[in-house]
Amino acid sequence: MAMNLPIFTSRGLAPPNRELRERRLIDAYGRTIRDLRLSVTDRCNFRCTYCMEPDVRFLRKVELLTVPEMVRVARLCVGLGVEKIRLTGGEPTVYQHLDDLIAELAKLPIKDLAMTTNGSLMDDARAREWKRLGLRRLTLSLDTLRPDRFAAITRSKTPPETVIDAIRKAKDAGLDPVRVNAVIVRNWNDDEIVDLVDLAREIGFEMRFIEYMPLDSARAWDRDKLVSAEEILRTIRTRHELTPIGRDGKSGTSLNHAFADGAPGGVGIIASVTRIFCGQCSRLRITADGQVRPCLFSNNEFDVRVLLRGGASDEQIEDFLLDSVWTKQAQHGINDAGFEQPDRPMSAIGG
């Protein structure tokens, strides 16, 4: 079937001639894409205040990629150099066909298959089944240890103990190394930084603190609420001495630290605002409705779903992905005067 594919431009230049271009996902700045963030659904059972307002409307089922469509586009990305896949959402554990998707993706020749979850719907049986199917690692979210704050932040009835229990179950199932994310917002949960670190030492996981970013559906991000990486580390060091161990490779998002006393677990800081790491970015995102986003903060999306459902060949879709990645912007520009927040919140993009 003949299809008219779009012509992409970046920095005012068309992509290199496809016949001369290496068949790998490389952008106009020379960065190679090796990590795919695949959102399986925009739905979530939480309405976290820094992400999603209570009145957010979810996509219709027909708009979402099916398991075969997700597996096909993931397979093509792997053929173009992707080595790691992370399943995101929304909340991926609310997706009805999650187990089928994990099983199919695990068959691909990749180095890592991971998933991010809020942990509220996870039990021991699910964790062990995901491991059996081929999931290798799990990252959970825990912004506070206080039940009242947890309810206020997530707008849910789930207590923090449910997530803490899920962390233990993930470790028991062998979904290691388990990482736990916390978005730190001034005057919300910044007084619990050390308490979260204490929990990491007790259970033995890596606690990752994320700087507050403009990715909320209310578009109410306030820089005054930002707690910087420097401040987070200074707070932790009031109780625990840390040893810097660097990033997980050149494109790693987290500034990692071990405990100087040899305690289990560790600390990571994802400083997207104050210590920008865009120059080494290796990530590509595909939303649950099949939109290719070269950057988390992209203002442009490229619709691969229409190709998946329109009879396009593998080669045509590969060309589309190559051209989409070429448009990846130099950096997100949060600190620029003309910065524009993405139209979609994090829940609709996939983390």
Q: What is the pLDDT of residues 210-258, one digit of tens each?
A: 998 776 666 767 888 999 999 999 999 999 999 999 888 776 788 999 9
Indicate the Cα dihedral angle 211, 212, 214, 216, nearest 10°.
130
Among positive and negative, which fits the CA dihedral 281, 286, 287, 292?
A: positive
Q: What is the pLDDT of residues 130-189, one digit of tens each?
A: 999 999 999 999 999 999 999 999 999 999 999 999 999 999 999 999 999 999 999 999
pLDDT given at position 216:
61
Mean pLDDT over the full length of the chain: 90
pLDDT given at position 4:
47
Domains, the chain = 35-349 (3.20.20.70)
pLDDT given at position 218:
60
Contact by Cβ (8 Å): 37, 286: yes
pTM of the entire predicted model: 0.91
Enter the tokens of residue 121: 């719907």
State yes or no: cis peptide before 6, omega within 30 of 0: no
What's the rounded Cα separation, in Å, for the pair 174 and 318? 35
pLDDT band at 54 (very low <50, low <70, confident <90, very high): confident
Contact by Cβ (8 Å): 316, 67: no
Enter the tokens of residue 268: 């990571």
